[in-house]
Amino acid sequence: MHYEMTKTYTIAIYTFLLFLSSCTPKTVKQITLNFHKEGKLNGAVLITKKGKIICDTVLGYKNFDKEIILDQNTSFYLASLSKPITAIGVMLMQQDGLLSYEDKASKYIKHLPIYARNITIRQLLNHTSGIPDYEQTLSSSTHRLNNEDVLSFVQQQPGLKFPSNTQFEYSNSGYIILSEIIEAISKQSYSDYIQEKIFTPLQMQHTFVFTNELLYLPDHAIGYNHKKELDDYNLSTTGDGGIYSTTKDLYKLDQALRNNQLLNKSNSLFIYKLPLLKDGTESSYAFGWFVDKKRAVFHTGGLNGFKNLFWRDLDSNTCIIVLTNQGDAFPVYSYLDEIKEVLCK
């Protein structure tokens, strides 16, 4: 009888504890760990709330084949998360009086086709130029595509996809043209300019631009698919992508933007200002950032085995940074929604 009572009591306590755990609000760490355990997140996560880091972790492998685990200094390919950095590079040139946002791209890139002669730097920054996007057409299966390949593609197109400033349409080609403008004005490579103006001042020590000239590739994650099959980065373009970084380094960038450390006060506001299209409607993309109605900005990045997220609440000094190298396994918006639900409580 005593044994049965003890057994019943133990089961009751266990059931009660399960009930309590199910009722306890999830934390960002629990959500992140659950995604990892379910095979949905292999990578690095840094989350802050009101300026305080509440989650900073790495989970999984940077090399599945050799079973090498990730560490805090492992850099991930950012894919389109490079675009905010390119935009900042252009804005720094504007601050230095080297260009105007209303300048035509053809002022600096002489071999643009006739149909693209009147597109402006502003339109390239906010994806309203109408320049055709190479990623919808060109294949990187035979060799690593580079900026020359993309400019050749642009020259071969019959015209803009739509009249400039009449609509928003994401164009990787446009940001490659911005990279070329940076090089034309600075007389430096995109890599050297971005390193000098952004990475070095912010001490982003584990961030670099991938180029074919790199003799040594720093500590970095290799890309895989959800089956853990190799699916590594295979482009050599800059401006639209090409940068490797860590969550810690991107957090330095987040703080620098909040504190006007790189951009002056005017540009620090302007970077998030949504453009008005010709019909008077507001677009959804500013200078390198998608902007929502709740004073939050974000960008994602995905290519091959990499999928990433950089979400920032402008008013509360809160951000979510996720870099993954098992790209198609990570449901980026499902994760974002769950984390935001916790952060907003």
Residue ranges and CATH numbers for the domains of the chain are 29-343 (3.40.710.10)
Cβ atoms of 202 and 305 closer than 8 Å: no
Q: Report pLDDT for 140.
A: 63
Q: Report pLDDT for 185.
A: 99
Q: What is the largest CA-CA distance in the chain?
A: 93
Q: Report pLDDT for 142.
A: 60
* Helices 83-95 and 172-186, axial angle in degrees (round to 10): 40
| Cα 287 to Cα 272: distance, rounded to the nearest angstrom | 6
The pLDDT tens digits for 105-161 are 999 999 999 999 999 999 999 999 999 999 988 866 567 899 999 999 999 999 999
**CA separation (Å) from 240 to 78, 208, 210, 292?**
10, 14, 12, 22
pLDDT at 23 over 60: no
Instruction: Name the average pLDDT for the chain.
Output: 92
Model confidence band, residue 15 (pLDDT cutoffs 50, 70, 90) = very low
Q: Report pLDDT for 25.
A: 57
Write down the pTM of the prediction. Answer: 0.92
